[in-house]
Structure formats: structure tokens, C-alpha cells
A and B are shown apart, each in its own frame.
Chain A
Amino acid sequence: MMSEKTLIRLMPWLVTIGLFILWELLCIVTGVEKFILPRPTLVFETMVQFAPQIAHHSLQTLYTTTAGFVLGVVGGGLLGVFIGASRLVYVGLYPVLVGFNSIPKVALVPVLVIWFGIGTVPAIITAFVISFFPIVVNVATGLATIEPELRDVLRSLGASKTEILTKIGLPRAMPYLFASLKIAITLAFVGSVIAETVASNEGIGYLMLSASSSYNVPLVFAGLIVVAVMGVVMYAVAVWFERRMTGWAFRGSDLMS
């Protein structure tokens, strides 16, 4: 018998492989055309065949996504601290932020193209803009929910606002920040691929768009899978960081490892 621990470790792979097998069987049984839904084996074949192009474009996407994400972490983190630390900034900026976040980011890309031309910059900015919001909200929440008793203890010790922020606020906001990074990194991929699809001649988004215009549907699916894999890998990186930086927040639970 397999131990429960190994089973837990194998489960994600089993489910993923299972899904691909199901997909393959579905295609064989229904006999669906390959330009509607290609079989995964064909998709992987195409992946190997177009490996150099895919590698080139996915590196470009990885670059724009990571750049946008890093900007989002820095900008969102800073703004989150401002909003969380000051009630005045909070009430003033929050409605604007919510409004801004409600704008579909795809509608923003044409504007960015007018400002910066097509290519790398709009992709980075779209990734930044889309990953920004969850980070701001989480960091601000972490700061704004300091226990009042704890604040009283610090204030009666004579702590300044900055001291309360650095001794309690920031460490306390860390788990919130890292939780938001996991959401933000996957959103960043959405942002960069959208921008590349609409306005770029590089990146996975562009690759998929040009593949679909020449009815190379297996290549489109290959692109989708590559984006998904990059998303999972970056998510895992974010989780790794989270565990290292804020292990205290997990209290020794085995999940999420």
C-alpha cells in the first residue's frame, strides 16, 4: 500500500495526467476535428515541433509578466502601506481604486498602445495594473486590522506611529502580502497575455493569435498549456517565498507545502 503522504504528493500529477487522458479519450470517441479541439498528444507533438518559437515567445511573456509583477509588488505594497496606515488616505483613495480595478484591463491596452506603441511596454504595464489591486487591498487590510489592545499597549509605551507601523503593522501585514502575491502572479500572466494578444509582435499571446489566424489550433493549445505551466511554476515560487518569510503564520500545518 502507498502511504498517505506519498499519495498526497502524487495527487496533483495524477489529476493532471488524468485530465489529459480524459481529454484524449474524449477526442478519440467523438472524433472531433483537430482544428476544433486537438488531441493533447497532437498538442505535445506541436510543442516539440515549434519548440524554438515557443521558447522565444514564452521567455518574452515570462519577462513582461515578471517585470509587471515586480512593479505591482513594489507599487502595490507601498500604496497598501499608505492606505492601511492612514485612515484619511484610506477613505480618499479606496473608491478610486475600486473604480479603477473595475475597468476591464483589455480596454486599457489600446490607450497604452497610443502612449507607448506596441510591444513590451504595454504588456508590462497591463501585468502591473492587473496584479496591483489585490496586493494593495491585502497589505492595507493587514495594517488596518491591528488589534486595538495591542495598539494601546504600544501607545502607552510611548511608541510613535512609525514604530507601531514597523514593529507591528508591517510584520503583521506580511502573511496578507504573500497571500496576495499568489493571486497577483497568476493575474499578471492574464494581463501580459491580453496585451500581447491585442498589441504585440512578441510573446505567447501574439504566438497564439497568429497561430489561430492560420488555423494552427494545436499550436494555440500548446501556447495555452505553456502559459498555464508558467503560472503554476510562478505560483509555486510565491508559495516557497511565503513559507520562508512567514512560517509563523502557518503554525506547523502540513498543507500547502
Chain B
Amino acid sequence: MQGPAFVKIDGVSLVYRQAEEETLAVEDLNIDIQEGEFVAVVGPSGCGKSTLMKLVTGLLDTTAGRITIGGKPVKGPVQGVGMAFQNSTLLPWRSTLDNVMLPLEIVEPHKRRLRKEKKAYIEQAMALLKTVGLADFADKFPWQLSGGMQQRANVCRSIIHNPRLLMLDEPFGALDAFTREELWGVMQALWMEKKFTAILITHDLREATFLADRVFVMSKRPGKIILSKEIDVPRPRTLDTTFEPHFGEIVHELREHIHSVRES
């Protein structure tokens, strides 16, 4: 395709050791992700999707193979990556605004500048909250927000520091169907505006197809990539797009591959 990959996963395997037992969690993964690309990884539960995420962010060490981000090999936790999980993990003692601003207190160069340029940073955070429709809830605490709102705030927190890489581990998994589909639109708008590289882990094939440029299908344990599918649906995609025949065909194709690995 184009130039060198931003995230390069090269022959990566991981073996979990627990006492005497060894489990091969993922095997010989090869994925190249371009800068600014949105990819999704789908697969049956327990296939090592979340393991892949931990490997890319350096929270786990590979057993074999290597991962590079921006040409640099991953050793130990990668700094400045944005992350959002299914569980929103907002801090209950902080207001929505303060929660969103947490990364700015940790990631350089914002950490150094935060005190001096507090006002500008607050404006930046408020602007972000506004784009996800949370401007009126900036002073509220997490338990005063609905599940969907909490997840919006969580997404804001994961991108406030403009990370080059965003990792999403089923961020919309615990939401009801309507809220989930609404947040796909929010996520797409944020990505189209900021153009970060994103890796979405999900088991929702429509979600993967809606958001991603490319979808990888993983087999069950030990996880291998069995399909890499370009999603050639023009953006911005809307909920109407999901009812178009072509969109349906793609979801169907992904579904068949998942079926085949589940039954094999």
C-alpha cells in the first residue's frame, strides 16, 4: 500500500505461563497499520483481542516477534497512547471536566504547561465536550451521568491529549443499541476531525464495519488473523449507510468467517 507502517505487528506470539501450564494466547500476528488509519479487530470471545491491545500498548511483552510504533520498538508501556475500555473508569471524585483533563496532568508537554495555560486547556476540553454533547454536564460527577454520557466522557478523556494512537477495547459494549449507534457517529466525527490512528477491539461486526477502514478477523484461541477486509464504504457513514446492501454484504462476509472459526 503506502509508505512504512505506523504500527507494525511483526510475527507476534504470546504465551501465558500460569504455574506449569502454558497457553498460547495469540500466534504469529502480522498487522500493518498506516498513520491515521482506523482499524477494527473482531473475533469470537476469548480469541485474544484484548491481549493484542495490551501487546501493542506495551502492557504485556511479546513472547516472539516484535511490535514497532512510529519505527520505534515497543518495550514497556508506550507513553501517551489514548485508551478507552468498556468500563468507563471515570474517577468518581472528579467532575466530568476534571476527568477529561486527567491526561493533561500526566502527558508532556501539557503537564508542564497546564498550570500556566490552564484557561486555554479548559477551553480546549470544553470544546471537546461540546462536540460530544456534554457541554452542560462538565460540572457533574460521573454518577450523575447516564451510561452513554459516561462513555462519551471516557472517549473525550482518551483523546484530549491528541494521542497519535487510540486504543478502544469494546468501548460501547455495555451500552444499549440506540446509544451505541449514536456514539459510532460521535466517534467517526472525532476521528475525521483529528485523524488519529485508532485500533478498535469489538465483537460487534456492524460497529467494526461502520467505523473502520480495515477489519481484521481473528480465529479462536490461539488467536490468528484469518481475514483482512478493506471497508470501501464512503465516509461520513451514517445510520442509513448501515442499511445499504453493500454494507450488509460486508457484515455478512465477516459473519461467515466468524462462523467458520467457531465451528472449526
Question: Is A153 an interface residue when CB atoms closer than 8 A count as contact?
Answer: yes
A147 to B59, CA, bound (A): 15
Q: Which residue of the partner chain, among A150, A158, A167, A171, contacts B79 with CB atoms under 8 Å?
A: A158
Q: CB within 8 A of B105: which of A152, A167, A249?
A: A167
**Bound complex: CA A156 to CA B169 (Å):** 14
Q: Output the nearest chain B residue to A158 by Cβ-Cβ distance.
A: B79
B219 CB → nearest A CB, Å: 25
Residues in A with CB closer than 8 Å to B93 are 171-172, 174, 246, 248-249
* Cα of A167 to Cα of B111 in the assembled complex, Å: 13
Closest Cβ of chain B: how far from A197's Cβ, in Å?
42
Q: Residue A71 at the B interface, CB < 8 A? A: no
Tell me if A14 counts as interface (CB < 8 A to partner B): no
Q: Write the nearest CB–CB distance from A236 to chain B, whole angstroms.
A: 23
- Confirm or deny: A78 has a beta carbon within 8 angstroms of a beta carbon on chain B: no
Number of chain B interface residues as a range = 20 to 34
* Chain A interface bracket (under 10, 10 to 19, 20 to 34, 35 or more): 20 to 34
Interface string of A133-146 (1 = CB under 8 A from B): 00000000000000
Instruction: Please name all residues of chain B whose beta carbon is closer than 8 Å to the beta carbon of A147 when the two chains form the complex.
Output: 87, 89
**B157, closest chain A residue (CB):** A153
Instruction: Judge if A5 is at the interface, Cβ distance under 8 Å.
Output: no
- 16 interchain pairs, CB-CB under 8 A: A147-B87, A149-B87, A149-B89, A152-B59, A152-B83, A153-B89, A153-B158, A154-B106, A156-B80, A157-B103, A158-B79, A159-B106, A171-B93, A172-B91, A174-B93, A248-B92
Which positions in B face A, CB cutoff 8 Å? 54, 57-59, 77-83, 85, 87, 89, 91-93, 102-103, 105-108, 141, 143, 158, 161, 167
